[in-house]
Amino acid sequence: MKTFKLISLDIVEEKHEDITQRRIKLEDGLIINREDDHGRWVIEAYVDENYRDFFETMKEKEEEIIIQVKITKQSNRPATFLVKPIDVNMIGDRMNVIFMGTIVDRQQEQVEWVLKQLMDEGYQGEDLLEEFKKRGQESKA
């Protein structure tokens, strides 16, 4: 396993048929490459409790989401991950949110373009996610 400092975290969301990024203000964070057979990463974000309802709702839905993170230093290019929030813990007036998922081997612009294209084709919700994953697998073949 390899552990790195998490510098920034953005949640990629669909709002009014547009792809937007919600910047999450970090107090601290880690990202761990588990180096397992599934290529999974663990992302731990330590944030203010103001995000509690947002992340609790996300965890309850058990949906995969797209996040973009910067690792080690602010000048690094963002890395894109497909993750599920697996735990939310209160720590005083702060909380940690733990995600698990896989890195997406694409540049930010390509990911946004593919998502926009899928939405323009009428995909929504789970169908959008499934088609996104399907096309991602096809591009790797």
HEC profile for 49-60?
A: HHHHHHHHHHHH
Domain ranges of the chain: 2-104, 107-139
Check whether 70 has a pLDDT greater than 90.
yes
The enclosing H or E element of 140 equals helix 125-140
| Confidence category of residue 78, pLDDT binned at 50, 70, 90 | confident
Distance in angstroms (rounded) separating the CA atoms of residues 4 and 122: 38
One of 1.10.287, 3.30.70, 1.20.58, 2.30.110 is the CATH number of 2-104, namely 2.30.110
Q: What's the pLDDT score for residue 38?
A: 84
Q: Which two tokens stand for residue 95?
A: 């909380």
Cβ–Cβ under 8 Å, residues 31 and 97:
no
pTM, two decimal places: 0.71
Q: What's the pLDDT score for residue 104?
A: 83
Q: What is the mean pLDDT of residues 85-98?
A: 94
Cβ–Cβ under 8 Å, residues 43 and 6:
yes
Check whether 82 has a pLDDT greater than 80.
yes
3-state secondary structure of 118: helix
Distance in angstroms (rounded) separating the CA atoms of residues 36 and 113: 30
CA 34 to chain centre: 16
CA distances 76 to 69, 73, 98, 137, Å, are 10, 6, 22, 26
Cβ–Cβ under 8 Å, residues 131 and 34:
no
